Amino acid sequence: MSQEIHHREDYRWFQPITTRWLDNDIYGHVNNVIYYSWFDTIANNFLITEGGIDIQGGDRIGYIVHSQCNYNSAIAYPESVEAGFRVNRLGNSSVEYGIGIFRQDIDDAAAWGTFTHVFVDRVSERPVAIDGKLKQALESVLV
């Protein structure tokens, strides 16, 4: 992944995120672990709303096998932020997402990163193909 700062135009799908009082750490800014929570939130919201994933009863679930985050500038409560989402790479059973975190009305990402899901059968935990509505949704945000 490039260390260049990412911009809004690099992403295909967006979701607002509300910072919370508890997101700030002792240094007065959002703690790094919160960014990973935001990554998980936007990816799973996309999978549910656009990809048709049934997180509670579906046959297919996604396991995170890799993640990383790059930080450009600090965010602090009560700022409003927005997460940008895209697919960097789409394999047979795995997908690498790209996610950017943006301050309201700012084009440069405050943070950006990736995480990779491998989709598996809920019972056997063996990899399963990404297909159907899920594949179409992921292809719609593929860069």
What is the C-alpha to C-alpha distance for residues 134 and 10, in angstroms, rounded to an integer?
21
Residue 143: per-residue pLDDT: 97
Position 1 scores a pLDDT of 45
- Residue 53, CA distances (Å) to 17, 20, 113, 114, 119 in order: 21, 27, 23, 20, 11
Domain segments of the chain as ranges: 8-140
pLDDT digits (tens, 9 = 90+) for 93-119: 999 999 999 999 999 999 999 999 999
Helix (H, G, I), strand (E, B) or coil at 44: helix
Angle between helices 132-140 and 32-49 (to 10 degrees): 120
Give the model confidence (pLDDT) of 64-88 as tens digits: 999 999 999 999 999 999 999 999 9
pLDDT above 90 coverage of the chain, percent: 97
Position 3 pLDDT exceeds 90: no
In the sheet where 13-18 sits, what is the strand order?
13-18, 80-90, 94-103, 111-121, 60-71
- Mean pLDDT across the chain: 96
Q: What is the pLDDT of residue 55?
A: 92
Q: Is the predicted pLDDT of residue 90 greater than 80, yes or no?
A: yes
- Whether 92 has a pLDDT exceeding 80, the answer reads yes
Q: What is the pLDDT of residue 101?
A: 98
Q: What is the DSSP letter of 7?
A: B
Distance CA 43, CA 12 (A): 12
Protein fold of 8-140: Thiol Ester Dehydrase; Chain A (3.10.129)
Residue 11 has a pLDDT of: 98
Name the pTM for this structure.
0.94
